[in-house]
Amino acid sequence: MSSADETLDRIKAQVEEETPNDIEIESVAFEGPELVIYTPDAQTVANRDGIVRNLAQTLRKRINVRPTQEALVPPNEARARITQTIPEDAGVQNLDFDRQTGEVFIEAEKPGRVIGRHGATLDEISASVGWTPEVVRTPPMESSTVSNVRNYLKQEREERRDILQRVGRQINRPTTADEDWVRLTTLGCCREVGRASFILSTPESRILIDCGDKPGAEGEVPYLQAPEALAAGPNSLDAVVLTHAHLDHSALIPILFKYGYDGPIYTTAPTRDLMGLLQLDYLDVASKEGRTPPYESQQVRDALKHTIPLEFGNVTDIAPDIKLTMHNAGHILGSAVCHFHIGEGRYNVAFSGDIHYKDTRLLDGAVNDFPRVETLVLESTYGGKNDYQTDQSDSERVLRDVINEAYEKDGKILIPAFAVGRSQELMLVLEEAMRKGDIPTMPVYLDGMIREATAIHTAYPEYLREDLRQRILYEDENPFLAEQFEQVDGGDEMRQDIADDEPAIILTTSGMVTGGPVMSWLRLLGSDPDNTMAFVGYQAEGTLGRQIQRGQDEITLGDTSGPRAERVSLKMGVETVDGFSGHADRQGLESFVETMHPRPEKILCVHGDESSTNQLSSALYQKFNMRTHNPKNLETFRLS
Ligand SMILES: [Zn+2]
Mean pLDDT of 174-184: 86
- Assess whether the region 3-70 and the region 72-138 belong to the same CATH fold: yes
pLDDT band at 514 (very low <50, low <70, confident <90, very high): confident
Of residues 228 and 182, more confidence is placed in 182
Rounded Cα distance, 241 and 264, in Å: 8
Give residue 573's identity as a one-letter amino acid code: G
Cα–Cα–Cα angle for 54, 56, 58, rounded to 5 degrees: 65
Distance 301 CA to ligand 1 centre (A): 22
Distance 619 CA to ligand 1 centre (A): 23
pLDDT value, residue 369: 97
Task: For helices 51-59 and 3-18, give the axis angle rounded to 10 degrees.
Answer: 140
Distance 253 CA to ligand 1 centre (A): 15
CA dist list (Å): 181 to 200, 203, 319, 344, 523: 11, 7, 15, 13, 58
User: Tens digits of per-residue pLDDT, 375-391?
Assistant: 999 999 999 998 988 88
The answer to whether the bond into 510 is cis (omega within 30° of 0) is: yes
Share of the chain above pLDDT 70, in %: 98
Distance 380 CA to ligand 1 centre (A): 12
379: which residues sit within 8 A by CB, 6+ positions away? 352, 353, 354, 355, 583, 584, 589, 606, 607, 608
H or E stretch at 299: helix 297-305
CATH code for residues 3-70: 3.30.300.230
pLDDT value, residue 567: 87
Binding region: 244, 246, 248-249, 331, 354, 607
Share of the chain above pLDDT 90, in %: 74
130: which residues sit within 8 A by CB, 6+ positions away? 42, 43, 67, 71, 72, 73, 78, 102
Distance 244 CA to ligand 1 centre (A): 7
User: Can you say whether the dihedral through the CA atoms of 389, 390, 391, 396 is positive or negative?
Assistant: negative
Distance 537 CA to ligand 1 centre (A): 12
What are the boundaries of each domain within the chain?
A: 3-70, 72-138, 174-385+583-638, 392-576
In CATH terms, is domain 72-138 a member of 3.40.50.300? no
Helices (H) and strands (E) in the chain, counts: 21, 28
Distance 246 CA to ligand 1 centre (A): 5
Distance 184 CA to ligand 1 centre (A): 21
Residue pair 167/157 in contact (Cβ under 8 Å)? The answer is no
Distance 136 CA to ligand 1 centre (A): 27
Distance 245 CA to ligand 1 centre (A): 7
Distance 523 CA to ligand 1 centre (A): 29
User: Tens digits of per-residue pLDDT, 445-491?
Assistant: 999 999 999 999 999 999 999 999 989 877 678 999 999 999 998 88
Rounded Cα distance, 352 and 330, in Å: 10
Distance 489 CA to ligand 1 centre (A): 27
CATH code for residues 174-385+583-638: 3.60.15.10
pLDDT value, residue 561: 59
89: which residues sit within 8 A by CB, 6+ positions away? 110, 113
> Around 345, how many Cα atoms within 13 Å sit in the side-chain half-sphere?
0
Residue pair 7/172 in contact (Cβ under 8 Å)? The answer is yes
The DSSP call for residue 49 is T
Nearest one of 453, 387, 446 to 420, comparing CA atoms: 453
Fold category of 392-576 in CATH: Rossmann fold (3.40.50)
pLDDT band at 7 (very low <50, low <70, confident <90, very high): confident
| Residue positions counted in the chain | 640
Distance 59 CA to ligand 1 centre (A): 37
Distance 596 CA to ligand 1 centre (A): 21
Q: Is residue 86 predicted with pLDDT exceeding 60?
A: yes
User: Tens digits of per-residue pLDDT, 541-578?
Assistant: 778 999 999 999 998 887 655 667 788 899 999 999 98
Strand partners of residue 534: 575
Distance 310 CA to ligand 1 centre (A): 19
Binding region for Zn(2+): 244, 246, 248-249, 331, 354, 607
Expressed in percent and rounded to 5, the helix, strand and coil fractions of the chain are: 35, 20, 40
Burial of 44 (0-12, 13-18, 19+ CB in 10 A): middle
Distance 78 CA to ligand 1 centre (A): 44
> What is the pLDDT of the chain when averaged over all its residues?
92
Burial of 176 (0-12, 13-18, 19+ CB in 10 A): exposed
User: Tens digits of per-residue pLDDT, 243-294?
Assistant: 999 999 999 999 999 999 999 999 999 999 999 999 999 998 888 878 888 9
Report the 10 Å Cβ neighbour count for 109.
Answer: 15
